[in-house]
Amino acid sequence: MSAARCPDLFGTARTRRAGRSPPRRKTSEGEAPMPPATPDLISPRSARVLAARRLAKRNFRGKERLFLAEGPQAVREAVTHRAADGGATLVELFTTAEAAERHADIVEKARDAGARVHLASDAVIADIATTVTPQGIVGICRFLDTPFEEILAAGPRLVAVLAHVRDPGNAGTVLRCADAAGADAVVLTDASVDLYNPKAVRASVGSLFHLPVAVGVPVERAVEGLRAAGVRVLAADGGGDRDLDDELDKGTMGGPTAWVFGNEAWGLPAHVRDLADAVVRVPIHGRAESLNLATAAAVCLYASARAQRARGGSRSAAEGRKSRES
């Protein structure tokens, strides 16, 4: 019987006998793999668990170019995502027996994709996960950011640029808003939070795997590159001299647009506002003092998306991806 070599996270390899599959159990939807009866990882001190846990730290993530995806939603998106080189994004899966039973489809897809699957104790999952109440399933994924030049070459019509955004939860939520609005890409500047921070990954609720994201781009380069690609660059700022409602009424929002969003506390620095083609504020019609970053981003991105649809013309790259996937 021949043996197939399967890649291992830490540069070693395991052997899987060709033609041999794990035990299967009957479910309402057919057959699914039966997980082992006892965990194969029970000690938080094992080398594999320690290496996975270190991915909570940015320097280790950058060194290994790997990050954590926690919970069934993120792992389900990861297991179907393919890296730029065609390989699997998910390389390793840790799951409790209960989670493996509840999410048997994820476990089966992970095995089919060649990921190394571990049945782990609750203590191991709690040690790897960064949440207070982990959901019993954690994946280790390859970095998936896209070179900025590739985003420009694709002819984007709607882009979110995060400049000086330091809160990972906000960054992930803006990414989710951009995905929902049909944006073609998200760009994180070099002064923004790490895309692969566990809080950012969780806040994106799987959207991290849906659209191209460039990281570490100097804001000047981002603005210059987008403008050269025919994209109008708008800075979103509460002190802007243009009103979003007025811009919509004047019909100026229908072309390719990139929105630049700034820091949660102090907004965009003056030099970043000066780089933009216009500085636009979201009007406050009630008594609220301001909107938080994610809410303002959602308003701006949906306003542009609606104006672009009303104008017609070429559809966005995001719509093209959705069409190809359907």
Confidence at residue 203, expressed as pLDDT on a 0 to 100 scale: 96
Into which CATH architecture does domain 148-310 fall? 3-Layer(aba) Sandwich (3.40)
Average pLDDT in the chain:
87
The kind and range of the H/E element at 17 are strand 13-17
What is the per-residue DSSP string for 227-295?
Answer: HHTT-EEEEE-TT-SEEHHHHHHHT--SS-EEEEE-BTTTBS-HHHHHHSSEEEE----SS-----HHH
| Structure confidence by residue, pLDDT tens digits, 46-73 | 899 999 999 999 999 999 999 999 999 9
The neighbour count for residue 239, using CB atoms within 10 Å, is 9
Residue 120: DSSP 8-state:
B
**Four-residue CA torsion sign, 200, 288, 280, 154:** positive
Lowest mean pLDDT among 103-117, 195-209, 232-246, 308-322: 308-322
Nearest by Cα to 121 from 102, 97, 103: 97
Outline which parts of the chain fall under CATH 3.30.1330.30: 22-142
SS3 of residue 133 by DSSP: coil
CATH class label, 22-142: alpha beta
Outline which parts of the chain fall under CATH 3.40.1280.10: 148-310
| Structure confidence by residue, pLDDT tens digits, 222-249 | 999 999 999 999 999 999 999 999 999 9
**Four-residue CA torsion sign, 183, 306, 225, 320:** positive
Across 19-28, 37-46, 281-290, the highest mean pLDDT is recorded for: 281-290
